[in-house]
Amino acid sequence: MNPNNHVGLPPALPDAITGIRHRFHAMENFAKVFAIQPGEQVVMLTDPLLDPRVVEAVRGLADARGAELRVFTDTSSRVTEVPKAAKALLEQADFVVSTWFCSIIDPFCIQLRKRGQRWVKITYFRNLDLLDTPQARFPIELVGAITRATARRFPENEAFDLHFTDPRGTDFRIHFTEEMRNNMLSTNRWRGQMTAEEPGCYVHYLPTHGPNFWDDNAVRHDPNVRTEMSGVIYPQWAVGFAEPFKERIAVHFDGEIVSSVEGESEEARILREMLIGGRMIEGGGCGFNPKAPRHTIYPAGSNAPGALHFGIDLAQPSEYIRRVMPDWEEPPVHMDLVNLDATVKAGNETLIDRGFLCALRDPDVVELAARYGDPLWLLEAGVD
């Protein structure tokens, strides 16, 4: 028997049957997330490599809602602070759509959100054709429910450690006080608010990259406060490397700072040169969209549920990043280490079990998923 004739699974349905339905499903999500209101001033912060159709999609939505859109294009998305020329434009905006790296960390942007300005970050929507992906049409209400179910697993009214382990030997802890926990979970993203409606909100579109298990939100962005953390991470992979690491590479931390990198491979040498002296800024960035591809880690770590990335700001720009990713959406002073099979516990509560996000089986999540289709297929049939 010719093995090329073996068929054990049904063929994909033709696009002529499903394409229009899928596109309108995704467009409904798009319209909900970009919650532009009549009369608002909308600003897009863009770069030359952004698909111009994305700009026109936002412009069309703004036009339809009686809002006014202005576009400011800088030389790249790797902007590390808002340029002076853009500040006056941003000061007047009600709603901001951005590709720029500095959107989340620049104090100027943070202050604008504290005043009520609403932001959508489009790192994962750089090409309009992404509307035709399963992750674009996955119900955003369900992404929010998965996020809230995860938040409920964080212990209340007590201090605890967020503990990361994996089969390679990762043993990393981040200590949470009760105040830090409350600061983190009060943000719109941890409350599962996927649309840019709330004053001061910051959301991602496509709606895949959920909130980080730890970041500067825990200390209200106070640069003088350092979080108690330590241990070792054995990354499975990292952005900018073509395939997962074959060697067990150990990245050691002294507090928030990378203190050493152990390994003999070329990848270990590169990471050692790159990471030592760098600071952890994202302690477990997690995906919450079950239809985000699990093994696609570019541009900023896998966004599949239970996949983690650890974001490290480097002590100096990386020559390796500049060579292999000259057009990367992030600057060469940042690196995301990826673990696809971690177990994460908050105190005694398990958040992730060997790469599986436990909230996917939360009864409230399963009940909500049933409104949209088969919960098992929606929540646990991942995309490779």
Spell out the per-residue pLDDT of the chain, length 384, in tens. 455 666 888 888 888 888 899 999 999 999 999 999 999 999 999 999 999 999 999 999 999 999 999 999 999 999 999 999 999 999 999 999 999 999 988 999 999 999 999 999 999 999 999 999 999 999 999 999 999 999 999 999 999 999 999 999 999 999 999 999 999 999 998 999 999 999 999 999 998 777 999 999 999 989 889 999 999 999 999 999 999 999 999 999 999 999 999 999 999 999 999 999 999 999 999 989 999 999 999 988 899 999 999 999 999 999 999 999 999 998 999 999 999 999 999 999 999 999 999 999 999 999 999 999 999 999 999 998
**Strand 209-212 versus strand 279-287 pairing type:** antiparallel
User: Which whole-number Å values give the CA distances from 207 to 136, 202, 253, 303, in the listed order?
Assistant: 7, 12, 31, 9
Nearest-angstrom CA–CA distance, 105 and 211: 14
- Bridge partners of 41? 68
Amino acid in position 156? E
Q: What is the pLDDT of residue 5?
A: 67
Query: Which pTM does this prediction carry?
Result: 0.93
Q: Report which secondary-structure segment, H or E, holds 267.
A: helix 266-275
DSSP E strand boundaries for 234-357:
237-238, 250-254, 257-262, 279-287, 308-313, 334-339, 343-346, 349-353, 356-357
pLDDT at 197: 96
> What letters, b where the CB count within 10 A reaches 16 and e where it falls short, cover 68-77?
ebebbebebb
Residues paired with residue 353 on neighbouring β-strands, in sequence order: 356
Place of tokens 């928030």: 256
Measured CA distances, 167 to 16, 178, 244, 283, 349 (Å): 44, 30, 15, 19, 19
CB 304 within 8 A of CB 287: yes
Does domain 15-132 fall into CATH 3.30.70.260? Answer: no
Residue 331: strand, helix, or coil = coil
List the structure tokens of 83. 């340029």
N residues, the chain:
384
Residue 361 parent element (H or E): none
Interhelix angle 15-33/52-64, nearest 10 degrees? 60
Locate the domains of the chain by residue range: 15-132, 149-188+208-380
Q: Positive or negative CA dihedral for 103, 338, 235, 267?
A: negative
d(CA 210, CA 146) in angstroms, rounded, equals 10
